[in-house]
Amino acid sequence: MKQPIQVPSGEKIRLKDFDPDYSGKFADKGETKAENKKNIARLAELQEVMYAEGRHALLIILQALDAGGKDGTIKKVMSGVNPQGCRITSFKVPTPEELSHDFLWRIHQHVPPRGYIGIFNRSHYEDVLVVRVHNLVPKAVWRERYEHINNFEKLLADNGVTILKFFLHISKDEQKQRLQERLEDKSKNWKFNPGDLKERALWNDYMAAYEDAINKCNTPWAPWHIVPANKKWYRNLAISERLIEALESLDMNYPPAPEGIEKIVIE
């Protein structure tokens, strides 16, 4: 059975109904190699037009549990993009200054300007995920944030920002395997954080929090996508296809040449 990537607007989902091992019609990495290579090149072309035209911006939001593949997605999917037109922001624990403002204050500063692609490695959704799971603020506070997020994203969309949100869906067994690799592979030891094990113990709480975030903040102007991410090669293909589709729908064009350029002679 075909599994949707983009969550239909207005439809309630349960994450248990989405198979993180799903890989569509593809059986292995080799079958997607040529397609992934083609998509990388096409993304580079589209980004160049976006940068030159300067009318649109693209905001990519990546959310996942620990070891879910956010860094790997950025490295692989965006490997052909010109760094000059791409900005990546990784949101950590808020600073004292950030905590003295509303929760969206630090986010708004990093929204990409027109002509740029912005990537959020974690995002404002942490304020209805980790904040909720760890009871960092009262329920009455984080419960109101879904509406704040929807309004914030509508403001961005109304100002030329195309927003695509991706939940990289891995299984608990896959997470265990990836964390184990970080322990056993010396080149990956630096990635291991003992705190990840404490977060892993809260798996079910995070699943419930993600379900609510997706169901309450899946809008026509900022849709959620549930990406099966156990197989990294399919994850990359699914995301690159969606990015290309969104950018091509903007019908972007290079700016017109300066008047009289055909008469210019360079000596």
Tokens of residue 69, six digits: 């593949």
How many other C-beta atoms lie within 10 A of the C-beta of residue 119? 23
pLDDT at 44 over 80: yes
Q: What is the pLDDT of residue 2?
A: 82
The model's pLDDT over 3-43, given as tens digits with 9 standing for 90+, comes to 999 999 889 999 999 999 999 999 999 999 999 999 999 99
pLDDT value for 259: 87
pLDDT band at 1 (very low <50, low <70, confident <90, very high): low
> Is residue 257 very low, low, confident or very high in pLDDT (cuts 50, 70, 90)?
confident
CA-based max dimension of the chain: 71
Mean pLDDT of the chain: 96
**Entry pTM:** 0.96
Q: What is the pLDDT of residue 10?
A: 87
pLDDT digits (tens, 9 = 90+) for 177-207: 999 999 999 999 999 999 899 999 999 999 9
Does an H or E element contain 155, and which? helix 145-158
The pLDDT of residue 225 is above 90: yes
pLDDT in tens, 108-158: 999 999 999 999 999 999 999 999 999 999 999 999 999 999 999 999 999
Query: How many residues are present in the chain?
Result: 267
For residue 211, give both structure tokens: 């379900």
- Sequence spans of domains, the chain: 15-250
Nearest Cα to Cα of residue 196 among 171, 176, 167: 176
Model pLDDT, residue 102: 97
Across the strands, what pairs with 118? Answer: 59, 87
Residue range 15-250, CATH number: 3.40.50.300
The two three-digit tokens of residue 265, written as one number? 């002679």
